[in-house]
Chain A
Amino acid sequence: MTIEEARADWIRVRGHHRDFAELLKSRLSAVTKSLGIYAEISAREKETHSLVKKLIKKPHLSYETLPDKVGARVVVRLRSELAPIENRVKEVFKFSAVEDKAAKLGFDKVGYLSIHVDGIALREDDPEINRFPSTGFFGELQIRTLGQHLWSEVSHDTFYKNDELVNKLPEDLQRRVHLSAGLVEVADREFDRMNEEARPSPEIEVFSGLEKLYYSVATKRPDIELSLDVINLILPLYGEASAREILERHIIPNFENHRDQLAAIYSDPDYDYDGASAFFFQPEALLIYERLHFDRAQLLAKWNERYPEKELERVATSFGFSLE
């Protein structure tokens, strides 16, 4: 196929690939939700000019087999979240190869880090497989941390693009590029360690538990300061119970009993509007939800000590509860 023919064909089929990218994004969102991990997810089909450029620059690639007609990316906060996502992606999708760039670097080099899943496509048992058969609809997925993403965006993707270009830089500049990658890797490892070593206060422990549940049904980022403030206010309603007891005896069982309904509520676009409560797209909404089930009157009394009643009323009606 000539470049001209490839361009014409891509213009014809691009919309279909856009739909595939959308589906890929929603499937990846389901993956991160199922793990309770917050992630920035994007997926899009290649723009026509970009596809043509690639075919011109890399004549060994053909239009039919171009691996990244659709590109997707999952960016997580912590290094320790990469492996669970990679493993779940391997279970959920079909793929041709997985490449961990860290393994390629070896122990004595630093540089670009990401996990690349090539040829990511729908499995044969996927309900959408007839619309997007894996022979024609596949893409490239990158899984990386925010730190890795930062380095890639600034040092790698934007200016140097690939190792060949980096190699053309003066040696001292090359070294500084790699050193900055090393710094980011050290920071990523430190974030992971800090996350593991932190001895949280009860409200932080409850927040961590709630956050995991929240991200399994919702995608909006919360205001953590507000979360801790609300949790701090409501925790006394559980008497002497420890943070672990509150999570294991109250929050998690109640959440699991209503998981499907909560997922439906949080995915309803009707709730994402100007009149929604400031407390609805927050992990502690699940704490409020549990107290609405079991201790509505006390919750209201406690709430009124610090926050406007109208806001609680909004959260309550979103969950199908009346305060009247």
Chain B
Amino acid sequence: MLTNDQLATMVLRHAIFHDVPNQRGQGGQQVILSTDLTPIDAERRRLLKTKLVKSLDSIHAYGMVFQDQPASTVPGFVRDVTATGYTEAKFVTASQGMAQHLYQVQSGAVSPGLLCVIDIVIGNRHGLILMKLERDEGAELKMKAERGRTHFEMSVLDSLVLTGNTRLFKAVAFLRLGAGDDDFEMSACDNQHNPTDTNEMARFWQKYLGCELEEAARVSTSKFFNATMEFVNQHVDDPELQTVIYESLHSELRSARAAFSPRAFLTNHVPEPVRHELNLFLGEKHVSLASFPKGTQDIRGSLRRLTYISEAGVRVVAPEDRGELVTVGEAQIVVNDRLSRLGRS
């Protein structure tokens, strides 16, 4: 996933737009491919960058990797354009190929729109950004055609990208890190769907890109859970605070929400200065603070708890997968563990 520093120092070099309608049987509207770049002035370039930063660092953004054997042609085009020997012609051809592929896979249910392909540089690394924008019925998109050459005019950005109310927006950034086919940093964003939604519409963007989540939901979830529990057990001395964090973590992970935001969890449930320490601890453990789709399969046993309630109202709560910790006798409940600390509430 692209870092904040990478997004901040990203330079947008060239952009090209293609109009990609839905296929609606014979006689339907055809894809309109530009042959030339859309010239962009400095002000719009800055606004476009702002829009991209806001999307690619938002809670809707996720780290991605290329699929092993994608049906999509996008990975091939991305690898080709970002390899050494970049030319503008190669960029235009690749963008046309990606628009054609979008036209082929875009079924009637997917909103038609424009595909914008942007050539970027971050430091000395080369990359590409793709944006899919819904074509608003009322938006007037001016295409300039002259002697067989075509390009969308700069005003296309005003109509589709830079207005504050652009609702439907999908974007992806590919940044080449090395010469290998998989040496890429990628961030994708789809503000209409969660990446773990299983319906066809939600999977569409990833499928088109030939990408999948960088880290399986179950891996991200257990990494965050285990690291946070380790921190709480080793670095939080206050038993009351331990309980608060522990309970909040369980509650958030067991809630019906499909995605989990570590950033929001820290803000809402971990007070300073412990929050800062946990933040650093997660960094040391290489646990990202970016949102991830929840997948609790691997920690199910730790999340489920059995509560033993005595006749006098004493409660003993233990993880379900650690049944050996509690022995229930006829006259007593025995906890087979040593006292770690005592809390008063």
With both chains docked as a complex, state the minimum distance between the C-beta of B9 and any C-beta of chain A, in angstroms: 5
Instruction: Say what secondary structure dominates the interface of chain A.
Output: helix
Q: Which B36-75 residues have C-beta < 8 A from chain A?
A: 42-43, 45-47, 49-50, 53-61
A265 to B43, CA, bound (A): 17
Contact flag A317-B5 (CB < 8 Å), given A298-B267, A322-B57, A324-B58:
no
Closest 3 CB pairs of A and B: A320-B8, A320-B7, A320-B4
Asked if residues A265 and B279 are in contact (CB atoms below 8 Å), the reply is no
Q: A250-B276, A321-B57 are in contact. List 6 more A-B contacts (CB 8 A).
A: A249-B276, A261-B5, A292-B4, A321-B4, A322-B53, A324-B60
Please report A residues at the B interface, Cβ cutoff 8 Å. 237-241, 249-250, 258, 261, 264-265, 268, 270, 273, 275, 292-298, 313-314, 317-324
Contact A265 B8 (CB under 8 A): yes
Complex formed: what's the CA distance from A292 to B9 in Å?
16
Cross-chain contact A320 with B3 (CB below 8 angstroms):
yes
Contact check, B8 vs A319: say whether CB atoms are below 8 A apart.
yes
B8 touches A261 (CB 8 A): yes
Proximity bits, B1-37, A CB within 8 Å = 1, else 0 = 0011111111000000000000000000000000000
Q: Does chain A have a CB within 8 A of B272? A: yes
A323 to B57 Cα, complex, angstroms: 8
* Partner among B5, B43, B276 whose Cβ is within 8 Å of the Cβ of A320: B5
Is A324 within 8 A of B59, CB to CB?
A: yes
Chain A residues closer than 8 Å to B60, beta-carbon distance: 324
Residues of A within 8 A of B5 (CB): 258, 261, 320
Q: For chain B, give the interface size range.
A: 35 or more
Pair B9/A268 contact, Cβ less than 8 Å:
yes
Q: Is A241 touching B54 in the complex (CB atoms < 8 A)? A: no
Instruction: Looking at the assembled complex, report how far the CB atom of A309 sits from the nearest CB atom of chain B, in whole angstroms.
Output: 13
Chain B residues with CB under 8 Å of A320's CB are: 3-10, 53, 57
**Interface residues of B, dominant DSSP:** helix
Q: Which residues of A contact B266 (CB under 8 A)?
A: 295
Nearest-CB residue, chain B, relative to A301:
B267
Question: Would you call A297 and B53 a contact (CB within 8 A)?
Answer: no
Q: List 27 A-B contacts (CB under 8 A).
A: A239-B272, A239-B273, A241-B272, A265-B8, A270-B46, A273-B46, A275-B46, A275-B47, A293-B4, A293-B279, A294-B275, A294-B279, A297-B263, A298-B267, A313-B54, A317-B49, A317-B50, A318-B8, A320-B4, A320-B5, A320-B7, A320-B10, A320-B53, A321-B57, A324-B55, A324-B58, A324-B59
Please indicate the chain B residues that have their CB under 8 angstroms from the CB of A322 in the complex.
53-58, 61
Question: Does B264 reach chain A (CB closer than 8 Å)?
Answer: yes
Shortest Cβ distance from B244 into chain A, in angstroms? 16
Residues from chain A with Cβ under 8 Å of B275 in the complex: 294-295
Given known contacts A320-B57, A321-B53, A297 and B264 CB-to-CB distance under 8 angstroms: yes
For residue B12, which residue of chain A has the nearest CB?
A270
> What A residues does B49 contact at CB under 8 A?
317
Considering the chains assembled together, what is the distance between the CA atoms of A237 and B47 in angstroms?
Answer: 30
In the complex, residue of chain A having the shortest beta-carbon distance to the beta carbon of B60 = A324
Residues on the A chain within 8 Å of B46, using CB: 270, 273, 275
- The winner among A261, A318, A320 for most chain B CB atoms within 10 A is A320
Alpha-carbon distance A270/B7, docked complex (angstroms): 14
- Of chain B, the residue at the smallest CB distance from A245 is B273
A270 / chain B contacts, CB cutoff of 8 Å: 42, 45-46
**Are A324's CB and B8's CB within 8 A?**
no
Contact B276 A294 (CB under 8 A): yes
Q: Of all chain B residues, which has the CB nearest A292?
A: B4
- With a cutoff of 8 Å between Cβ atoms, the chain A residues found around residue B123 in the complex are 264
Could you tell me which residues of chain B, from 104 to 159, have a CB within 8 Å of some CB in chain A? 123
Question: Which residues of chain A are near B276, meaning CB under 8 Å?
Answer: 249-250, 294
Between A249, A313, A322, A323, the greatest number of chain B beta carbons within 10 A of the residue's beta carbon is seen for: A322
Q: Is the CB of A295 within 8 A of B8?
A: no
- The residues of A that contact B58 with a CB separation of less than 8 Å are 322, 324
Residue of B nearest to A297 (CB): B267
The chain B residue with its CB closest to the CB of A299 is: B267
- Contact check: which of A240, A249, A264, A323 meets B9 at CB < 8 Å? A264
* Bitwise interface map of B from 270 to 295 toward A, beta carbon under 8 Å scored 1, else 0: 01110110010000000000000000
Closest to A265 in B: B8
B53-A296 in contact (CB<8A)? no
Hey, which chain A residues are within 8 Å of B9, CB to CB? Answer: 261, 264-265, 268, 320
Q: Which residue of A lies closest to B50 (CB)?
A: A317
B272 touches A238 (CB 8 A): yes
A250's closest neighbor in chain B, by CB?
A: B276
Q: Of B10, B45, B273, which is within 8 A of A241 by CB?
A: B273
A297 to B275, CA, bound (A): 13
Residue from B3, B4, B56 having most chain A Cβ neighbours under 10 A: B4
Q: Which of B10, B55, B266 has the most CB of A within 10 A?
A: B266
Q: Judging by beta carbons under 8 Å apart, are A319 and B4 in contact? A: yes
The distance from the CB of A264 to the nearest CB of chain B, in whole angstroms, is: 5
Cα–Cα distance between A268 and B273 once the two chains are bound (Å): 34
Q: Which residues of A contact B56 (CB under 8 A)?
A: 322
